[in-house]
Amino acid sequence: MPAVARTRRRVSCRLAVLTAAGTLFAVGAAPCGFAQPDPDPDVASVANAAPPPPDGSVPSEEPGIVETPDGWELTVAGKDEYQVAVAPLTTALSSREYVVAGTFTGSVKGSGTTELDGGTLEVGYQIGCGITLNVVKLNGSAGFRTDLGLDFDIGTRFPLRAGIEVYPQPGQVINVQLVHKVFTGTDPRVTIKDSHIKIDGCIGQSFMRSYAVLTSSTNNADDIVAYYGATKAV
């Protein structure tokens, strides 16, 4: 009897058998398993997406770069910034309080012709108030009056009158310095984490941005370059 090859396929199992003279011989077998559907590309892209940024995160602006006349290159930059407005502890309507964070770096590179003598890295925030509450004046008066009724009853009254005068002024920009770092090398860094900033006398809309000022000193000069972060309404 001629040999007959028969292949059976069930799910993902494959078994090839050869029958000859009523005897069954196993020729080869592949592992068995259950077939899985192809992953949804949209679901896969969402699963591999980066985690969302923290609440209040602010994109950092381009670094400040300057080349000094004596050949040094100064760079100051910010990254990982966030700013969140929170309720002030005073609960006053004219008070503003913020929680801020970020990392600010400076560097002095190149082959200048002068000798470096360290420098400073100043980091802080600028807060702009639409309207500044300057003066609040309380006006009051007290009087004395005697009333005589028809039944000859005599009564005495002390009337009180009070009023409040508010003198708002045009808005202003307030600089809040957090760190003034003195360094002796060429790569200073300042990291801020959950620092609270509070100002008073600010009503209306307010805006905030970070700043970092790098000063590099040599034996005969000071060179300054500044970085300003993105402006955020808070």
Helices (H), 11-100: 41-47
User: Residue 215 has what pLDDT?
Assistant: 97
User: Residue 24 has what pLDDT?
Assistant: 42
User: Residue 16 has what pLDDT?
Assistant: 39
Neighbours of 41 (CB within 10 A): 8
Neighbours of 122 (CB within 10 A): 21
Instruction: Report the C-alpha gap between 190 and 174 in whole angstroms.
Output: 21
Look up residue 158 and give its two tokens.
């002390």
- Which region, left, alpha or beta, applies to residue 102 given φ > 0 means left and ψ of -120 to 50 means alpha? left
pTM as predicted: 0.63
In the chain, DSSP finds a helix count (H) and a strand count (E) of: 1, 16
> Was domain 54-133+167-233 assigned CATH 3.20.20.370?
no
pLDDT in tens, 52-61: 555 789 999 9
User: Residue 156 has what pLDDT?
Assistant: 57
Contact yes or no for 7/28 (Cβ under 8 A)? no
162 contact partners, CB below 8 Å, separation of at least 6: 138, 139, 140, 141
User: Residue 157 has what pLDDT?
Assistant: 59
Spans of the chain, pLDDT less than 70: 1-54, 133-170
Instruction: Report the C-alpha gap between 17 and 6 in whole angstroms.
Output: 6
User: Residue 18 has what pLDDT?
Assistant: 39
Domain range list for the chain: 4-41, 54-133+167-233
**Angle value at C-alpha 47, between 42 and 52, nearest 5 degrees:** 110
User: Residue 19 has what pLDDT?
Assistant: 41
Radius of gyration, alpha carbons of the chain: 38
